[in-house]
Structure 1
Amino acid sequence: MLMRVHIQKTAEKAGKGLANLCRLMPNVGGLRERSRRMLCTVMESIIMYGASIWGKAVTKEVHRKALRSVQRKAAIRVVISAYRTASTSAL
Protein backbone atom coordinates (compact mmCIF):
# COMPACT_ATOMS: atom_id res chain seq x y z
CA MET A 1 0.00 0.00 0.00
CA LEU A 2 2.71 2.45 0.99
CA MET A 3 4.83 1.60 -2.05
CA ARG A 4 1.83 2.17 -4.34
CA VAL A 5 1.48 5.73 -3.09
CA HIS A 6 5.21 6.33 -3.36
CA ILE A 7 5.37 5.00 -6.94
CA GLN A 8 2.30 7.01 -7.99
CA LYS A 9 3.75 10.23 -6.56
CA THR A 10 7.08 9.55 -8.25
CA ALA A 11 5.37 8.91 -11.59
CA GLU A 12 3.37 12.13 -11.22
CA LYS A 13 6.50 14.12 -10.33
CA ALA A 14 8.40 12.71 -13.31
CA GLY A 15 5.40 13.39 -15.56
CA LYS A 16 5.23 17.01 -14.45
CA GLY A 17 8.94 17.45 -15.02
CA LEU A 18 8.61 15.92 -18.47
CA ALA A 19 5.67 18.18 -19.32
CA ASN A 20 7.68 21.23 -18.28
CA LEU A 21 10.58 20.14 -20.48
CA CYS A 22 8.26 19.50 -23.41
CA ARG A 23 6.94 23.06 -23.17
CA LEU A 24 10.48 24.28 -23.82
CA MET A 25 10.97 22.12 -26.91
CA PRO A 26 9.51 23.00 -30.30
CA ASN A 27 7.40 20.33 -32.01
CA VAL A 28 9.15 20.39 -35.39
CA GLY A 29 12.83 20.84 -35.99
CA GLY A 30 13.59 20.86 -32.31
CA LEU A 31 16.75 20.16 -30.39
CA ARG A 32 19.50 17.83 -31.51
CA GLU A 33 19.40 14.24 -30.37
CA ARG A 34 22.06 14.73 -27.70
CA SER A 35 20.18 17.65 -26.19
CA ARG A 36 16.88 15.76 -26.21
CA ARG A 37 18.43 12.75 -24.53
CA MET A 38 20.01 14.97 -21.89
CA LEU A 39 16.59 16.43 -21.10
CA CYS A 40 15.16 12.92 -20.86
CA THR A 41 17.72 11.97 -18.21
CA VAL A 42 16.05 14.45 -15.87
CA MET A 43 12.87 12.36 -15.94
CA GLU A 44 14.82 9.12 -15.65
CA SER A 45 16.77 10.34 -12.65
CA ILE A 46 13.53 11.28 -10.85
CA ILE A 47 12.22 7.76 -11.40
CA MET A 48 15.47 5.97 -10.60
CA TYR A 49 16.01 7.87 -7.34
CA GLY A 50 13.50 5.67 -5.52
CA ALA A 51 13.97 2.51 -7.56
CA SER A 52 16.34 0.88 -5.10
CA ILE A 53 13.64 0.57 -2.41
CA TRP A 54 10.83 -0.60 -4.70
CA GLY A 55 12.18 -4.11 -5.30
CA LYS A 56 9.16 -6.36 -4.79
CA ALA A 57 6.61 -3.60 -5.41
CA VAL A 58 7.57 -3.29 -9.07
CA THR A 59 6.72 -6.95 -9.64
CA LYS A 60 3.06 -5.90 -9.71
CA GLU A 61 1.72 -4.84 -13.09
CA VAL A 62 -0.11 -1.80 -11.65
CA HIS A 63 3.14 -0.25 -10.45
CA ARG A 64 5.02 -1.03 -13.65
CA LYS A 65 2.19 0.49 -15.68
CA ALA A 66 2.42 3.81 -13.82
CA LEU A 67 6.16 4.06 -14.44
CA ARG A 68 5.89 2.81 -18.02
CA SER A 69 3.36 5.53 -18.77
CA VAL A 70 5.87 8.26 -18.00
CA GLN A 71 8.62 6.47 -19.88
CA ARG A 72 6.35 6.12 -22.91
CA LYS A 73 5.60 9.85 -22.93
CA ALA A 74 9.30 10.59 -22.73
CA ALA A 75 10.08 8.19 -25.57
CA ILE A 76 7.37 9.66 -27.77
CA ARG A 77 8.11 13.32 -27.16
CA VAL A 78 11.75 13.61 -26.23
CA VAL A 79 13.79 10.64 -27.40
CA ILE A 80 12.37 9.69 -30.81
CA SER A 81 9.75 12.37 -31.57
CA ALA A 82 7.14 9.81 -32.64
CA TYR A 83 3.38 10.04 -33.02
CA ARG A 84 1.23 9.31 -29.97
CA THR A 85 -0.39 6.42 -31.83
CA ALA A 86 2.89 4.47 -32.03
CA SER A 87 2.76 1.23 -30.08
CA THR A 88 4.79 0.92 -26.91
CA SER A 89 6.67 -2.10 -28.22
CA ALA A 90 7.66 -0.14 -31.35
CA LEU A 91 9.04 2.70 -29.25
Structure 2
Amino acid sequence: MKYLGLVLDGRWSFEEHFKLLVPRIEKAVGALHRLLPNLGGPREEIRRLYAGVVRSMALYGAPVWSHRLTGTRRFKTKILSLQRRVAIRLVRGYRTISFEAATLLACFPPLDILAERDARVYNQTRALRQSGGSASYPASVLEALRRQEQRRAHTTWYARLRGDRYAHKRVVSAILPAFEAWMRRKRRVTFRLTQVLTGHGCFGEYLCRIGCEATAVCHHCGAD
Protein backbone atom coordinates (compact mmCIF):
# COMPACT_ATOMS: atom_id res chain seq x y z
CA MET A 1 0.00 0.00 0.00
CA LYS A 2 1.32 3.45 -0.91
CA TYR A 3 0.60 6.11 1.71
CA LEU A 4 2.01 9.66 1.65
CA GLY A 5 4.83 8.59 -0.63
CA LEU A 6 5.85 5.56 1.45
CA VAL A 7 5.22 1.99 0.29
CA LEU A 8 4.01 -0.11 3.24
CA ASP A 9 3.93 -3.89 3.41
CA GLY A 10 2.47 -6.38 5.87
CA ARG A 11 5.78 -6.91 7.68
CA TRP A 12 6.79 -3.24 7.86
CA SER A 13 10.10 -4.22 6.29
CA PHE A 14 10.00 -1.38 3.70
CA GLU A 15 11.73 -3.59 1.15
CA GLU A 16 9.19 -2.61 -1.50
CA HIS A 17 9.74 1.03 -0.64
CA PHE A 18 13.50 0.67 -1.14
CA LYS A 19 12.97 -1.27 -4.38
CA LEU A 20 11.03 1.67 -5.83
CA LEU A 21 13.22 4.33 -4.23
CA VAL A 22 16.55 3.17 -5.66
CA PRO A 23 15.54 3.53 -9.37
CA ARG A 24 14.13 7.01 -8.69
CA ILE A 25 17.37 8.16 -7.09
CA GLU A 26 19.38 6.47 -9.85
CA LYS A 27 17.46 8.42 -12.48
CA ALA A 28 18.05 11.71 -10.66
CA VAL A 29 21.77 10.96 -10.23
CA GLY A 30 22.07 10.12 -13.93
CA ALA A 31 20.52 13.46 -14.84
CA LEU A 32 22.90 15.30 -12.51
CA HIS A 33 25.92 13.63 -14.09
CA ARG A 34 25.10 15.36 -17.36
CA LEU A 35 24.74 18.73 -15.61
CA LEU A 36 27.86 18.60 -13.42
CA PRO A 37 31.08 18.09 -15.39
CA ASN A 38 34.40 18.10 -13.55
CA LEU A 39 35.78 21.03 -15.51
CA GLY A 40 33.51 24.03 -15.82
CA GLY A 41 29.85 23.62 -15.10
CA PRO A 42 27.95 25.05 -12.12
CA ARG A 43 29.78 26.51 -9.13
CA GLU A 44 29.90 24.69 -5.82
CA GLU A 45 26.78 26.31 -4.37
CA ILE A 46 24.69 25.02 -7.27
CA ARG A 47 26.24 21.57 -6.99
CA ARG A 48 25.29 21.46 -3.32
CA LEU A 49 21.74 22.46 -4.20
CA TYR A 50 21.51 19.55 -6.66
CA ALA A 51 23.03 17.16 -4.11
CA GLY A 52 20.43 18.37 -1.62
CA VAL A 53 17.67 17.32 -4.00
CA VAL A 54 19.01 13.77 -4.07
CA ARG A 55 19.46 13.79 -0.29
CA SER A 56 15.85 14.89 0.21
CA MET A 57 14.58 12.17 -2.12
CA ALA A 58 16.60 9.51 -0.32
CA LEU A 59 15.67 10.60 3.21
CA TYR A 60 11.96 11.18 2.70
CA GLY A 61 10.12 9.45 5.55
CA ALA A 62 13.41 8.46 7.23
CA PRO A 63 11.99 8.56 10.80
CA VAL A 64 9.68 5.69 9.79
CA TRP A 65 12.12 3.39 7.98
CA SER A 66 15.63 4.33 9.23
CA HIS A 67 15.85 1.28 11.53
CA ARG A 68 15.08 -0.98 8.57
CA LEU A 69 17.75 0.44 6.25
CA THR A 70 20.55 -0.65 8.59
CA GLY A 71 19.27 -4.23 8.55
CA THR A 72 18.71 -4.35 4.77
CA ARG A 73 22.29 -4.64 3.56
CA ARG A 74 21.74 -4.81 -0.20
CA PHE A 75 19.53 -1.72 -0.34
CA LYS A 76 21.83 0.18 1.98
CA THR A 77 24.79 -0.69 -0.25
CA LYS A 78 22.94 0.45 -3.35
CA ILE A 79 21.79 3.75 -1.84
CA LEU A 80 25.29 4.51 -0.55
CA SER A 81 26.77 3.75 -3.97
CA LEU A 82 24.42 6.34 -5.48
CA GLN A 83 25.47 8.81 -2.77
CA ARG A 84 29.08 8.20 -3.76
CA ARG A 85 28.31 9.20 -7.35
CA VAL A 86 26.68 12.42 -6.19
CA ALA A 87 29.56 13.24 -3.83
CA ILE A 88 32.09 12.68 -6.63
CA ARG A 89 30.27 15.20 -8.81
CA LEU A 90 30.10 17.60 -5.89
CA VAL A 91 33.88 17.64 -5.43
CA ARG A 92 34.69 17.29 -9.17
CA GLY A 93 36.49 14.02 -8.54
CA TYR A 94 37.40 11.03 -10.68
CA ARG A 95 34.99 8.11 -10.63
CA THR A 96 37.73 5.86 -9.22
CA ILE A 97 37.83 7.50 -5.77
CA SER A 98 36.25 5.64 -2.87
CA PHE A 99 32.99 6.31 -1.06
CA GLU A 100 34.82 7.48 2.07
CA ALA A 101 37.05 9.89 0.14
CA ALA A 102 34.20 11.37 -1.90
CA THR A 103 31.80 11.90 1.00
CA LEU A 104 34.51 13.26 3.32
CA LEU A 105 35.71 15.76 0.73
CA ALA A 106 32.09 16.79 0.12
CA CYS A 107 31.25 16.96 3.88
CA PHE A 108 28.31 14.69 3.04
CA PRO A 109 27.82 12.11 5.85
CA PRO A 110 26.58 8.64 4.81
CA LEU A 111 22.83 8.54 4.25
CA ASP A 112 22.28 5.82 6.84
CA ILE A 113 23.76 8.12 9.50
CA LEU A 114 21.62 11.03 8.27
CA ALA A 115 18.51 8.83 8.35
CA GLU A 116 19.18 7.94 11.99
CA ARG A 117 19.75 11.63 12.75
CA ASP A 118 16.40 12.59 11.20
CA ALA A 119 14.66 9.85 13.18
CA ARG A 120 16.13 11.11 16.46
CA VAL A 121 15.18 14.71 15.69
CA TYR A 122 11.62 13.68 14.86
CA ASN A 123 11.20 11.52 17.95
CA GLN A 124 12.59 14.13 20.32
CA THR A 125 10.59 16.97 18.74
CA ARG A 126 7.42 14.90 18.96
CA ALA A 127 8.08 14.05 22.61
CA LEU A 128 8.63 17.74 23.46
CA ARG A 129 5.43 18.82 21.79
CA GLN A 130 3.40 16.07 23.38
CA SER A 131 4.70 16.92 26.84
CA GLY A 132 4.20 20.68 26.71
CA GLY A 133 2.51 21.63 23.47
CA SER A 134 4.23 23.13 20.44
CA ALA A 135 3.75 26.67 21.79
CA SER A 136 5.89 25.88 24.85
CA TYR A 137 9.02 25.36 22.76
CA PRO A 138 10.15 28.22 20.52
CA ALA A 139 11.85 27.63 17.20
CA SER A 140 15.25 28.36 18.78
CA VAL A 141 14.91 25.32 21.06
CA LEU A 142 14.05 23.04 18.17
CA GLU A 143 16.91 24.48 16.11
CA ALA A 144 19.32 23.79 18.98
CA LEU A 145 18.05 20.21 19.07
CA ARG A 146 18.75 19.82 15.35
CA ARG A 147 22.27 21.21 15.76
CA GLN A 148 22.91 18.83 18.63
CA GLU A 149 21.82 15.85 16.55
CA GLN A 150 23.91 17.09 13.63
CA ARG A 151 26.99 17.11 15.88
CA ARG A 152 26.10 13.63 17.08
CA ALA A 153 25.89 12.45 13.46
CA HIS A 154 29.35 13.91 12.80
CA THR A 155 30.69 12.12 15.88
CA THR A 156 29.24 8.82 14.65
CA TRP A 157 30.78 9.37 11.21
CA TYR A 158 34.15 10.29 12.74
CA ALA A 159 34.14 7.12 14.85
CA ARG A 160 33.36 5.02 11.78
CA LEU A 161 36.19 6.60 9.79
CA ARG A 162 38.66 6.02 12.62
CA GLY A 163 38.20 2.27 12.32
CA ASP A 164 41.00 0.07 11.01
CA ARG A 165 39.15 -0.34 7.73
CA TYR A 166 39.38 3.32 6.70
CA ALA A 167 41.93 5.16 8.84
CA HIS A 168 44.90 4.28 6.61
CA LYS A 169 43.31 5.62 3.43
CA ARG A 170 44.90 8.71 1.93
CA VAL A 171 42.04 11.21 2.21
CA VAL A 172 40.76 9.92 5.54
CA SER A 173 44.19 10.01 7.18
CA ALA A 174 44.74 13.55 5.85
CA ILE A 175 41.44 15.04 7.05
CA LEU A 176 40.66 13.16 10.27
CA PRO A 177 43.18 15.09 12.44
CA ALA A 178 41.29 18.29 11.50
CA PHE A 179 37.84 16.75 11.06
CA GLU A 180 35.81 19.44 12.87
CA ALA A 181 37.66 22.28 11.16
CA TRP A 182 37.14 20.58 7.80
CA MET A 183 33.40 20.21 8.38
CA ARG A 184 33.16 23.92 9.26
CA ARG A 185 34.99 25.10 6.14
CA LYS A 186 32.88 27.46 4.05
CA ARG A 187 34.91 26.92 0.91
CA ARG A 188 35.37 23.25 0.04
CA VAL A 189 37.48 21.81 -2.77
CA THR A 190 38.31 22.49 -6.39
CA PHE A 191 39.06 20.11 -9.23
CA ARG A 192 42.84 20.42 -8.65
CA LEU A 193 42.64 20.18 -4.87
CA THR A 194 40.54 17.02 -5.15
CA GLN A 195 43.24 15.50 -7.37
CA VAL A 196 45.99 16.39 -4.88
CA LEU A 197 44.10 15.04 -1.85
CA THR A 198 42.99 11.80 -3.50
CA GLY A 199 46.03 11.13 -5.69
CA HIS A 200 43.61 10.32 -8.53
CA GLY A 201 44.39 12.65 -11.41
CA CYS A 202 47.11 13.61 -13.85
CA PHE A 203 49.92 12.04 -11.81
CA GLY A 204 52.37 9.49 -13.18
CA GLU A 205 51.72 7.04 -10.35
CA TYR A 206 47.95 7.07 -10.91
CA LEU A 207 48.16 6.97 -14.73
CA CYS A 208 50.55 4.02 -14.54
CA ARG A 209 48.27 2.19 -12.11
CA ILE A 210 45.24 2.44 -14.43
CA GLY A 211 47.27 1.46 -17.49
CA CYS A 212 47.41 4.84 -19.26
CA GLU A 213 51.19 5.18 -18.87
CA ALA A 214 53.98 2.61 -19.02
CA THR A 215 55.86 4.08 -16.03
CA ALA A 216 55.11 6.31 -13.04
CA VAL A 217 57.69 8.90 -14.04
CA CYS A 218 56.46 12.50 -13.75
CA HIS A 219 56.10 14.31 -17.07
CA HIS A 220 57.23 17.62 -15.57
CA CYS A 221 60.30 16.84 -13.50
CA GLY A 222 61.20 13.24 -14.34
CA ALA A 223 60.98 12.08 -10.73
CA ASP A 224 60.03 8.50 -9.96
| TM-score interval (norm. to shorter) | 0.7 to 0.9
Give the superposed CA RMSD: 1.8
Matches within 5 A, 1:14-53: 14-53=25-64
Matches within 5 A, 1:6-21: 6-21=17-32
CA distance in 2, matches of 1:26, 1:5: 33
CA distance in 1, matches of 2:75, 2:55: 16
Tell me the secondary structure at the aligned position of residue 77 of structure 2: helix
Q: Percent identity?
A: 34
TM-aligned CA deviation for residue 73 of structure 1? 0.9
Larger Rg: 2
Tell me the secondary structure at the aligned position of residue 101 of structure 2: coil
1:15-48 CA distance string (max 9 Å, x none): 1012112223344212110011001111111111
Q: How many pairs does the alignment contain?
A: 90
Corresponding residue to 1:84 among 73, 91, 95 = 95
Name the structure where helix makes up a greater proportion of residues.
Answer: 1
Structure 1 residues 90 and 26: CA distance shift in structure 2, 3 A: closer
TM-score between the two structures when normalised by the length of structure 2: 0.37
CA distance in 2, matches of 1:11, 1:50: 14
CA distance in 1, matches of 2:63, 2:39: 37
Structure 1 residues 41 and 87: CA distance shift in structure 2, 3 A: same
Corresponding residue to 2:84 among 72, 76, 90 = 72
TM-aligned CA deviation for residue 76 of structure 1? 1.1
Contact 1:57 1:63 in 2 (8 A): no
Contact 1:15 1:43 in 2 (8 A): no
- What are the ranges of 5 or more consecutive residues in structure 1 without an aligned counterpart? none
CA distance in 1, matches of 2:26, 2:61: 15
- What are the ranges of 5 or more consecutive residues in structure 2 without an aligned counterpart? 1-10, 103-224
Q: Runs (4+) of structure 1 moved beyond 4 Å?
A: none
CA distance in 2, matches of 1:46, 1:38: 13
Contact 1:7 1:66 in 2 (8 A): no
